Structures are given as structure tokens and as C-alpha cells.
Amino acid sequence: MIKTIFRLFVVGIIALGLVNPATAAKKPRYKPYVLASVSSGDMAAKVNEVRNKLKGGGFDLVGEYVPYDNAHVFVITNKAIIKAASKAKGGAYAAGQRVSVTKDGGKIQVAFFNPTYMAYAYRMSDDLQNTYKQLAKLLGKKEEFGSKRGLKKRKLKKYHYTFGMEYFDEPYELVSYGSQAEAVRAVEAGLAAKKAGVVKIGRIDIDGSGQTLFAVGLQAGTDNSDADDKSIMGVIDFGKLKHTAMLPYEILVKDGDVYALHGRFRIAMAFPDLSMMGDKSFMNIMASPNAIGAAFATVSGGDPSKYKK
């Protein structure tokens, strides 16, 4: 009887317009990666095929990155992505989208980082759904992955992994210069010298916003495995579907200041289901966020000591 009365009450308030049935419905969840295809064959041929599709399908190729064997990442952009990125505070981190080709167990996986997941996590007003659809049309779409249940928009907009770990708006504040031009020159010089094993993958100048985004790889090797892409991903990217499109990282120069998303946000956002404790967990890369911060400070001309705790 009580359940019947409750149902009648809900129907009544919907009829009166007090509750919108669309908003009352289950809200969608989003996962960080999109698996475009799985195939057999030659890795180099597949990389070339994907490259040609991207270049012929409305994307500019910012750079390419081979972080380790059997992994290849394209950093891409276009005018629409840059325009959307320039409108949001911190949205510039999304100016470079990522597509990966990974060979594992004889199969080649083509995947891309979910633009809409990224847009919400980076608090953008544009959800980058057009970019999602464009990539899915060019490369295919089999499934989304990277989180068992996915995250709701509201959760992504204020995402942090757990208590004590950074939010999107708590980046590494690496160094400040007197002008944007001076800051960009300093980062370019550091990357050219491959300081701390940080290498340049590509650069995006966001016209009219005073921002330049660098896509960067961590290639410290055994000298500093805590700040090395192969070492870090070797611990946390253990699933059947590979998270290669988590790479590369970004360094942002804005109005003469140099920033990067904090590792405890950036890695967690790309691996939201990773366990805190146990084998192949965040605990196994506990030193990496500070090591990454120190590497980024070094390459940009800042003080790495504040991250070496």
C-alpha cells in the first residue's frame, strides 16, 4: 500500500512538472578509453594506417611517441579542439588528444583517450562529443574501458582519487618567468637537452590565450625509474586492454608561469579503478608523483627540490 502511494506521488509531481523525467533517469557514466579495433598483422603497418586516417580525417598531427616496445601514441589536435580548450580555465591541457596503437599477445589494439571523459575531468564547458564522434567514425568503436562502472559527469568535474590526493586545480607549479616568451624558450631549451629524461613529443600554441602546451615523455630509464614511462606503465597497465593512450604527459606554459597536472591527479584520472594497496597498485608507484614533479621542474628551469620529499 505504501509503495503504491509513493509511486502515485512520484507520478503526480512529474505530471505537475516538478520533476523532469529525463533528469530523474539514470545518469550516464563515462570511461577513460575507447577501444577502436583489435586485429592481427604488422605493427608498423597498423601505425601507418592509423596515421593516415588521422591526417586525412580532419586532425593535425602534433607528435608521435614510442614510450616502449610495441606501443605507439599519436598526439593530435584541430581548430575545434583548440577553440574548446582555450575557453576553459585549465582546458588547455585537453588541446592535445591521444590515440594509441599497442601490440599485446599477438593482437594489435587501437584505442583513444575518451575526449568527453577528459573534458569533464578538466572542467570544460564543451564536452568534446564532436571529437569523440569524429575519432569513432575514423578509427571505429568497439567499447569503452578503463573503469568497471565508469564515472558520472558530476564525479569527473570534481575528481580526485581519495583523501589527500590532488584535484585538477592543484597542479605542479613549476616555475615563473617574466614573460610568456621567456618561459616557452626555457622549456624548449630544457626539452632539447632532455633534462631529467623529459623529452619533447610536440607543441601546441593556443593563439589568443597566452598559452602553450607541450606534450612530453618521461624517458629517465633506470637512472630514475620513478619518473620513467616504461617503468610506471609496466606496473599499472596490466589489464587485457591497454591504457597506452594515457601517455604522454603535458607541460603548460601560461602567462609566463609553467605548470603540469599533478601526478596524483593525472595518473589516477587515467586509472580510476587502480587499487590503493596490494600488488600492482598505487602503492607500487608511490614515489612517482614527486619524481615526476621534480623532473618537470628540472626540465622547465625550476627547483626540483620541493618535490623530493
Q: Which residue range(s) make up the domain with 150?
A: 30-307
Residue 18 belongs to some domain of the structure: no
Which residues, in sequence order, are bridge partners of residue 14? none
Residue 20 belongs to some domain of the structure: no
pTM attached to this predicted model: 0.91
C-alpha cell of residue 173: 607549479
- Asked whether the predicted pLDDT for residue 225 surpasses 90, the reply is yes
Residue 201 belongs to some domain of the structure: yes
Q: What are the pLDDT digits (tens) for 127-185?
A: 999 999 999 999 999 999 999 999 999 999 999 999 989 999 999 999 999 999 999 99
Q: What are the pLDDT digits (tens) for 261-295?
A: 999 999 999 999 999 999 889 999 999 999 999 99
Q: What are the pLDDT digits (tens) for 230-263?
A: 999 999 999 999 999 999 999 999 999 999 999 9
Residue 74 belongs to some domain of the structure: yes
Q: For residue 121, what are the CA distances in angstroms to 38, 218, 254? A: 27, 23, 20
Residue 6 belongs to some domain of the structure: no
Which residues, in sequence order, are bridge partners of residue 228? 219
CA pair distance 224, 209, nearest whole angstrom = 35
Confidence of residue 6 (pLDDT cuts 50, 70, 90): very low
301 within 8 A of 251, measured Cβ to Cβ: no
Give the CATH number, domain containing residue 213.
3.30.310.70
Confidence of residue 14 (pLDDT cuts 50, 70, 90): very low
Q: How many domains does the structure of the chain reveal?
A: 1
Q: What is the 3-state secondary structure (H, E, C) of the chain?
A: CHHHHHHHHHHHHHHCCCCCHHHHCCCCEECCEEEEEEECCCHHHHHHHHHHHHHHCCCEEEEEECCCCCEEEEEEECHHHHHHHHHCCCHHHHCCEEEEEEEECCEEEEEEECHHHHHHHCCCCCCCHHHHHHHHHHHCCCEEECCCCCEEHHHHHCCCCCCCCCCCCCCEEEEECCCHHHHHHHHHHHHHCCHHHEEEEEEEEECCCCEEEEEEEEECHHHHHHHEHHHHHHHHCCCCCCCHHHCCEEEEEECCEEEECCHHHHHHHHCCCCCCCCCCCHHHHCCHHHHHHHHHHHHHCCCHHHHCC
Residue 23 belongs to some domain of the structure: no
What type of residue sits at position 191?
A: L
- Asked whether the predicted pLDDT for residue 1 surpasses 60, the reply is no
Residue 152 belongs to some domain of the structure: yes
- Asked whether the predicted pLDDT for residue 13 surpasses 60, the reply is no
Q: Residue range 42-63: average pLDDT?
A: 98
Q: For residue 186, what are the CA distances in angstroms to 126, 297, 300, 308? A: 32, 11, 6, 22
C-alpha angle 18/20/23, rounded to 5°?
Answer: 130
Residue 253 belongs to some domain of the structure: yes
Confidence of residue 300 (pLDDT cuts 50, 70, 90): very high
Q: What are the pLDDT digits (tens) for 104-133?
A: 999 999 999 999 999 999 999 999 999 999
CA pair distance 74, 50, nearest whole angstrom = 9
What type of residue sits at position 98?
A: R
